[in-house]
Structures are given as C-alpha cells and as structure tokens.
Amino acid sequence: MLILDNFDKSAVTVDNVIFGFDDEDLKVLLIKRGESPFEGSWALPGYFVKGDEDLDKAAKRVLAELTGLENVYLEQVETFGKTNRHPAGRVITVAYYSLIKISDFKITPNSIANRAVWKSTSFAQDLAFDHDEIFKACFNRLKRKVRSKPIGFELLPPKFTLTKLQQLYEAILEVQLDKRNFRKKILSMDLLHYLDEREEKVAHRPAKLYKFDENKYQEFLSKGMVFDISESKSKGAKKKLKF
C-alpha cells in the first residue's frame, strides 16, 4: 500500500469570487489585507482548507463565514498552482465563484467580512497575489455560464423587473442589449411568473414584477429545451451581443 509520506505535500486554500448585483452594477466582494504580504492591497477572500475537510465543503464554509449566507450558488472554477504564487511558500488555491443577493448579505461580527467591501467589477484590479488572474478566470466562467443556465436569477431579489434582469445581463456580459429582443426572448422561454404586482412610487410608469419559476424551468428542461442567451455569430467582427 502506498505511503503518502513519501511524497511532497502542499498547503491548500480556497479563494472565493463572490458576485453581487446592486442596481445596474455588478460587484465583487474584496477585502483589504491588514497583514504582510500585500498589506494594504485588495484581495479575494479565501482561507485554508482543513485536513479533514472536503474541498467543496471548505468553499461553503469559508463563504458562510464571510457572508453569513448558506445555500448559495457556488461553482469550482480552476486551481492555481504555480510554486511562487505565495511568498510564504507553496500554496495551491482552488478558486470558486458564488452568486449572492446583496440585500441578503450581512456583515457577520466575527468574520473577515468586517473588512470586506463590494467593489464594482470594473475596478477589481491590482489585487494581491495572483488574484487578478483568479478573478478574471471566475468572471469569464460566469460570463459563459450565465448564457447557458439561468443562474443570473441568483443575483436578483425574488421579485424583479425585466429591466433589472436586462441590466444584470448587460453588466455581466459587458454589452448592450436590445430591449424588445431581450424581452421577446426571455418571455418566450416562459420561465418567469408574473406576480400581478408592479413597482411603487417610481416617477415613471411602474414596471411589472416577475419571479423566476423553478417548476417552469424543470418543465422547460424536460422538453429538451436549452436556456440560451446566445452570443452573436455575425461575421461582422462586432463584439456586440445582439438579440
């Protein structure tokens, strides 16, 4: 039987890219480092994995400790294992991203989150360690995934307007979308339930409120249909996403 002591071992961490969406702006949760190395830099929240702890459990635990939230969308993205990525020695890190409703997020007293701040994704740069690379990998994964699975709703409050939904997609995909085509496509999938409620106290025509209907989505899938907010395939070199 194999003896593991014969082989090199490494410290292992999980790093979390926690996305939130706050009225028109996609945000990521960052912490300001209070200690060396990279003291004063912004960094992704992460922590060490325990020896008797499954990786996925570690990611959930760290996320819960940071945000106070459980039952949150969480997905492993990539593992970063350059020998020199951490100045203190070899640390392999497994990156996860998660999607949370900012309104549910509470800064828990004991947690690292005391120093945590929501930053717009467009300002998430010059992070500590190789966190720029990790952030980019997770953001790219989110961009891809949000087009083929209805995970975007994880970022919205239970009741939302179609405009908020469109703004969310525009923020994630970093493109402009056509309002009529977007609505036509989303509504044609028949995944939303109109709540027979509207916005209140807005200085314009109040928008209808919808919720995402998990049952309808299961039906949708069982018909062999595929959620798809598709990328433009136009020959015309545009980086624009069209509907």
The Cα–Cα gap between 243 and 105 comes to: 33
Instruction: For residue 97, give the amino acid letter.
Output: Y
| Enclosing H/E stretch for 195 | strand 192-198
Which of DNA, a second copy, none has residue 143 at its interface (CB below 5 to 8 Å by kind)? Answer: none
The entry of DNA, a second copy, none near residue 161 (CB within 5 to 8 angstroms by kind) is DNA
Give first-to-last CA distance, the chain, whole Å. 59
From the list 139, 151, 38, the residue with the least C-alpha distance to 87 is: 38
The number of angstroms, rounded, from the C-alpha of 134 to the middle of its chain's C-alpha atoms is 13
Strands 192-198 and 42-43: unpaired
User: Residue 136 and residue 218: Cα distance in Å, rounded?
Assistant: 31
Q: Which of 1, 3, 8, 180 binds DNA (CB under 7 A)?
A: 180
State the nearest-atom distance from the C-beta of 190 to DNA, in Å.
13
Q: Give 32 or 238: the residue with its C-beta nearer to a second copy.
A: 238
**In this complex, which beta carbon is closest to DNA, that of residue 43 or of residue 207?**
207
β-pairing verdict for 46-48 and 73-80: unpaired
- Residues of this chain, 5-64, that bind DNA according to CB under 7 A: none
- Provide, rounded to whole angstroms, the least separation between the CB of residue 5 and a second copy: 9
Could you give the 3-state DSSP secondary structure of residue 165?
helix
How many residues bind a second copy (CB under 8 A)? The answer is 50
* Residue 197 contacts DNA per CB under 7 A: no
Site membership for DNA, residue 175 (CB under 7 A): no
Could you tell me the smallest distance in angstroms from the CB atom of residue 146 to a second copy? 15
52 binds, among DNA, a second copy, none (CB under 5 to 8 A by kind): a second copy
Q: Is the Cβ of residue 88 or residue 203 nearer to a second copy in the bound state?
A: 88
